[in-house]
């Protein structure tokens, strides 16, 4: 059966980077089919809704979506579309690889290859229990960690490690201080880790982890952690290897998975062919891993690396004089 992917072209630079990404995927002979669906501003203009039912149905049916950045209109009581999609499909795992690439003006142009697996539905981000006292002097935040939530994210991290051939998972926590929440996460994580004797497991307190990531990032492989720590650590890791233009992410649940670039719609450069398509392309590589095509994912990453190494048609953010599509063509010629 042919696997169909829901494709959301998105807003701002979204359509440009999606055209570029699909151009490369089409050169790869993947046997995939692509079904376009609207979301964001483009959907609001066409259907009067940010996420039309037809888009929800498409994602539910295909279970895999490749998504460009979306604009959530400000004011008018709109909730972030990305948050909405995460809620509706219970996309509990946020997976963000950070890998060194050559010629990217980053601090670590080689040696780093870390995947952060962040719990995406609970912890400090439950959106309940936030209170400020009437006099404005005291604020309270409730965190919630469940055994089920912890177990499924840690299991996801170990399964991912196995699937893509990683050797180590680091459990990041603050159980010495946040004894209840982080304590439950750590205890649950240890029990899951025991089921994976083939994968090395270590534990690290989040502050120590930050220091070690900055000093010796090459010693990390897969990191699994709770929502707030994962939010911070995944940006830290993206910063180590060159920032937004190269940072992909996936939001994964049991019924659906959405692959994307971490960056936004970049309205300042939209429609000018200046956008770097690599983040979305790397999101597509994650998608290929997810679909059980790790050798295709590896060849896509290798083509991106070779193109960066050759400095062939790179976009202006990488100091090149190419454009979005010429960069994509240079990558497509190497897959
Ligand atoms: P949004 O409101 O959708 O988040 P934004 O303006 O915050 O949009 P970001 O995507 O977060 O845009 O980008 C921040 C900066 O990084 C912008 O100056 C943008 O031009 C640049 N940038 C983001 N993505 C890319 C890309 N793929 N290629 C080149 N530059 C990019
Ligand atoms: Mg932004």
- Nearest Cα residue to atom 9 of ligand 1: 264
Mean pLDDT over 286-291 rounds to 96
Retrieve residue 315's tokens: 């976009």
How far apart, in whole angstroms, are the C-alpha atoms of residue 209 and residue 207? Answer: 5
Q: Summarize the confidence of residues 248-254 as an average pLDDT.
A: 97
Q: What mean pLDDT is reported for the chain?
A: 95
DSSP strand pairing (64-67 vs 32-36) = unpaired
ipTM given for this complex: 0.94
Grade residue 130 by pLDDT with cuts at 50, 70 and 90: confident
Is residue 207 among the annotated active site residues? yes
Nearest ligand to the CA atom of 273: 1
The pair phi, psi for residue 84, each rounded to 5°, is -60, -45
Percent of the residues in the chain that have a pLDDT greater than 90, as a whole number: 90
- Looking at mean pLDDT, say which of 78-82, 103-107, 143-147, 244-248 comes out highest: 143-147
CA dist 276 and 161 (Å) reads 28
Question: What is the per-residue pLDDT for 104?
Answer: 87
Dihedral angle sign, alpha carbons of residues 21, 94, 45, 276: negative
The reply to whether 235 belongs to the active site is no
- The CA 69 to ligand 2 mean position distance, Å, reads 10
Residue nearest to atom 16 of ligand 1 (CA): 266
Annotated catalytic residue within 67, 174, 296, 329: 174
Give the count of beta carbons closer than 10 Å to the beta carbon of residue 135: 6
* Total tally of structural domains belonging to the chain: 2
- Is there a single domain that holds both residue 85 and residue 7? yes
Q: Would you say 95 and 286 are in contact if contact means Cβ atoms under 8 Å apart?
A: yes
Q: Which domain-ending residue is among 205, 240, 275?
A: 240
Flag whether pLDDT at 36 surpasses 90: yes
Q: How sure is the predictor about 76, in pLDDT bands with cuts at 50, 70 and 90?
A: low
User: Can you give the pLDDT at residue 125?
Assistant: 86
Cβ of 267 below 6 Å from ligand 1: yes
Following DSSP, what letter does each residue of 236-286 receive, concatenated?
Answer: HHHHHTT-GGG-EEEEE-SS-EEEEESS---TTTTTTT----HHHHHHHHH
Contacts of 180 (CB under 8 A, 6+ apart): 145
Q: Confirm whether 236 is domain-assigned.
A: yes
Q: In what order do the strands lie in the sheet with 113-119?
A: 32-36, 3-8, 64-67, 257-261, 248-252, 93-99, 113-119, 222-225, 168-173, 200-205
Give the model confidence (pLDDT) of 144-194 as tens digits.
999 999 999 999 999 999 999 999 999 999 999 999 999 999 999 999 999
The boundaries of the domain holding residue 189 are: 119-240
Centroid of ligand 1 to alpha carbon of 141 (angstroms): 31
Specify the ligand 1 atom closest to the Cα of 276.
28
Distance (angstroms) between ligand 2 centre and the Cα of 47 equals 25
> Is 231 considered catalytic here?
yes
- Regarding the beta carbon of 62 and ligand 1, being less than 6 Å apart is answered no
What are the start-end ranges of the H helices in the chain? Answer: 14-26, 41-47, 53-62, 81-88, 147-163, 181-193, 206-215, 227-240, 278-290, 294-310, 324-332
- Domain assignment present for residue 67? The answer is yes
> In this structure, which ligand is nearest to the CA of 11?
1
Residue where one domain finishes, among candidates 185, 209, 240: 240
Same domain, 296 and 323: yes
Under DSSP, is residue 128 helix (H, G, I), strand (E, B) or coil? coil
CATH number at residue 43: 3.40.718.10
pLDDT at 218: 97
State the distance between the two ends of the chain, measured CA to CA, in whole angstroms. 24
Both 232 and 262 in one domain: the answer is no
Beta carbon of 256 within 6 Å of any ligand 1 atom: no
Nearest CA to 38 out of 15, 60, 13, 19 is that of 15
């Amino acid at each position: 059966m042919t696997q169909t992917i829901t494709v959301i072209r998105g807003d701002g630079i979204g359509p440009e980077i999606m055209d570029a990404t699909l151009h490369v995927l089409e050169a790869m002979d993947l046997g995939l089919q692509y079904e376009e669906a609207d979301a964001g501003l483009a959907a609001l203009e066409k259907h009067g809704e940010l996420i039309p039912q037809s888009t929800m149905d498409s994602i539910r049916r295909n279970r895999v979506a490749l998504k460009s950045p979306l604009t959530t209109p400000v004011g008018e009581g709109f909730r972030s579309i990305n948050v909405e999609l995460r809620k509706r499909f219970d996309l509990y795992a946020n997976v963000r690889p950070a890998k060194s690439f050559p010629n990217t003006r980053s601090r670590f142009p080689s040696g780093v290859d870390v995947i952060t697996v962040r719990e995406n539905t609970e912890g400090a981000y439950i959106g309940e229990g936030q209170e400020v006292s009437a006099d404005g002097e005291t604020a309270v935040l409730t965190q919630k960690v469940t055994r089920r939530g912890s177990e499924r994210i840690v299991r996801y991290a170990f399964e991912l490690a196995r699937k893509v051939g990683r050797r180590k998972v680091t459990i990041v926590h603050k159980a010495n201080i946040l004894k209840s929440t982080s304590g439950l996460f750590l205890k649950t994580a240890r029990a899951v880790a025991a089921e994976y004797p083939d994968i090395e497991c270590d534990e690290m307190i989040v502050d120590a982890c930050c220091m070690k990531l900055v000093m010796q990032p090459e010693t990390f492989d897969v990191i699994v952690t709770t929502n707030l720590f994962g939010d911070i650590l995944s940006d830290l890791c993206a910063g180590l290897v060159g920032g937004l233009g190269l940072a992909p992410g996936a939001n994964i649940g049991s019924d659906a998975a959405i692959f994307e670039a971490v960056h936004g719609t970049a309205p300042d450069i939209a429609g000018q062919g200046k956008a770097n398509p690599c983040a979305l392309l790397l999101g597509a590589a994650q998608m290929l891993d997810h679909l059980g095509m790790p050798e295709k994912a590896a060849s896509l990453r290798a083509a991106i690396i070779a193109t960066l190494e050759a400095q062939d048609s790179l976009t202006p953010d990488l100091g090149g004089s190419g454009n979005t599509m010429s960069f994509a063509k240079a990558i497509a010629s190497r897959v």
